[in-house]
Homo-oligomer: A and B are copies of this chain.
């Protein structure tokens, strides 16, 4: 039997604020058993929404603040001036032990900065990572990091592999997720020192991971592996390139199906299939990207998500909180620490260079 799980919500975040957030909480409250919510934000805006959604109202407590962080506030500003804002309070409730997990659809940079400040890094983890759940031909691939960092060394890429596998296991349900490192070719000699060093570490058999080697950009949509590890610069570019291409496709579809009366008739006949396809193709459709590596679980919802999307982010949060996600990461991070202490950085580099010969 699941115990009651308390979820701390930034009710002011996202493009639509409380109207979408509270409606999303209502969907989640009806779909997922034994949840309670702390709603941080302006009660003058939240209470009228709760009045519309009885399932949400029954399980929510409003914690008032009239301070909010805008979507375009810089992370450094948000850290300096964010104390007492809805997102700050949502994360602080996690630190204070009032909630098990926090969800925000607000400004990613601000959420990351405040979460790092209040929660600190989890033991043994050097850098946080943001995960994207990418729809593929065969399921969902977790890609990380997609923007928490701009550079990552070999050991940090291995941390991402450990956290990504635990995430995929907890949220997308694969018993033993397969893991790949994103590179410009699948041969061992390809790529720069960081990816070759990560490859060498990941082949160390003492890590409890199903590591499959290097993968390439086209493997993301193909679903070749469950978890794809990359630095935050490359991951962010890949994700946004895909989002841009998806919008390009959508625009081409619209213009194709309005180009002639015959084509419009075609669209009418195929409309139900086309609608389903559009939903499947949106890289933002699988909502809920957790910030991994912190002392606490913080889930970022897409800023433009609708109520259903926000509820999906709550589900990700609940799945993470109710799984052995944190323990699984801790076990593997301990193994990594052992490997790293036995293998000096010099040796890892040498191994990577040996591979390059």
The answer on a CB contact under 8 Å between A233 and B191 is: yes
The answer on a CB contact under 8 Å between B263 and A245 is: no
Q: Tell me the number of copies of this protein.
A: 2
Number of A residues whose C-beta is below 8 Å from B? 60
Residue A232 lies at the interface, judged by CB distance under 8 Å to chain B: yes
**Given A242-B245, A245-B246, A270-B267; A216-B233 close (CB under 8 Å):** no
Of B238, B240, B253, B271, which one neighbours A277 at CB under 8 angstroms?
Answer: B253
Contacts of A256 in B (CB 8 A): 270, 273-274, 276-277
A residues with a Cβ closer than 8 A to B are: 74, 136-137, 147, 150-151, 182, 184, 187, 190-192, 216-222, 230, 232-234, 236-249, 251-253, 256-257, 259-260, 262-263, 265-274, 276-277, 280-281
Between-chain CB contacts (< 8 Å), 29 pairs: A74-B187, A150-B184, A150-B191, A216-B240, A217-B241, A217-B243, A218-B247, A222-B244, A222-B248, A230-B237, A233-B234, A234-B234, A234-B237, A241-B241, A241-B242, A242-B245, A249-B249, A252-B280, A253-B277, A257-B270, A257-B273, A259-B273, A260-B273, A262-B272, A263-B269, A266-B267, A266-B268, A266-B269, A269-B269
